[in-house]
Structure 1
């Protein structure tokens, strides 16, 4: 494995990233998912979850200024937690496959107005991935996957109350923002597949084949 090698799996909300990463953790021992989701975060970083929940509660209960402060803090907290987990996995000899990296939380912060120039400058110093796999889903399909709004959180739609229109508009804008924030990264688009096993096979195969090509070029 090359020094600082890591891959990113990115996509809009409800694109299937967490399901793919969970299955990778079960079936691909050379790869190690890195995530801040409750079910996938490394146990030694579980304190992140309490700090995240405290920031979300602070944002919900406060005024607009508190919402913005909480958003900036959450962006920084998530990015740092992911970076530390990437380092831990790399030190173990496995290949990190990162859930969204900082790109998604940054994109949402930009849409919700909870990012500042200092944070943007800080994120610009972060290492960039070896490669990025973009798992797409249409906003309409995502709406169906979230039980037509019953499973939404406040960072998945515009406004304070979820509605189909607020969700679809946010998800469309999120897709555009994600693409803008990864324009500098070598990315491969993955078309929606008929099942999670197919997606997992595609992701693992793409990483494996690209690593072989990179190794060949480095040796020649």
Structure 2
């Protein structure tokens, strides 16, 4: 029995994956978009974007004081399992594009210092995609897209300052870990695009080929 048919849209912070997926709803109507973003979650899964917002509003500001990195990983795992469930339960006749899958959360947990190899092994046992579309962006452009640092969270930069150097260093390391995680999969690299419309068209071209 064949596994689920799906692709993963991957990229560092600021790559524009959510913006691209919103545009692909119209450009690839035969595809199903799966994400933990509220724009792509059904009403019965409202807990997922709510938890995601709570991570940004409450957990990350208290990371290292009120909350440990292991607690962070436990909460982020809810999104990982949700995405796996959506993939596993998908109609095999309908192609699926998944935002980041577990790859980005795993990389960020590693960078945060989470050492739980059993958890990582479990995530890596999940169904694997037919291919990965990697939407690249330079740390310089990503910094601009984050309002020159005005819209950063604690999982987007190294150190305590959250300045441009901390952000760019983190993003370079994140890119390395993401590509390491998918090195055994077919990966299509898309260079940085000028805007979300062009990026969406580039992704559409890959998925329609």
Question: TM-score, normalization: structure 1?
Answer: 0.85
Deviation, 1:53, is 4.0
Q: Any conservation in 2 of the 1:72–1:115 contact (CA below 8 Å)?
A: no
Does the aligned pair in 1 maintain the 2:59–2:67 contact within 8 Å? yes
CA distance in 2 between counterparts of 1:151 and 1:206 reads: 30
Of residues 115-124 and 172-181 in structure 1, the stretch that sits farther from structure 2 once superposed is 115-124
1:189 Cα offset (Å) = 0.4
C-alpha deviation, 1:87, in angstroms: 3.4
**Contact 1:159 1:166 (C-alpha < 8 Å) held by counterparts:** yes
Structure-1 separation of matches of 2:172 and 2:140: 10
Q: Distance in 2 between matches of 1:60 and 1:194?
A: 32
Cα–Cα, structure 1 residues 33 and 140, in superposed 2: closer, same or farther, change >3 Å? same
Residues in 2 aligned to 1:163 and 1:40: alpha-carbon distance in whole angstroms: 32
Distance 2:154 2:63 in 1: 14
| 8 Å CA contact retained: 1:72, 1:116 | no
Taking a change above 3 Å as real, the CA distance of residues 136 and 62 of structure 1, as seen in their structure-2 partners, is: closer
The number of residue pairs the alignment matches comes to: 207
Question: How do 1:1-220 and structure 2 match up within 5 A?
Answer: 3-55=3-55, 57-61=58-62, 63=64, 66-88=67-89, 90-91=90-91, 93-209=93-209
Q: 2:156·2:170 contact (CA, 8 Å) conserved in 1?
A: yes
Task: Name the structure with the higher helix share.
Answer: 1
Conserved? CA contact 2:59–2:72, under 8 Å: no
Pair 1:92–1:45, CA change in 2 (3 A): farther
**Larger relative contact order (CA 8 Å, sep ≥ 6):** 2
Q: Structure 1 residues 137, 63: closer, same or farther in 2, change over 3 A?
A: closer
The gaps in structure 1 that reach 5 residues or longer are: 210-220
Q: Is the 8 A contact 1:67 1:114 kept in 2?
A: no
| Secondary structure, counterpart of 2:173 in structure 1 | helix
Once residues 92 and 4 of structure 1 are traced to their aligned partners in structure 2, the CA distance between those partners, rounded to angstroms, is: 6
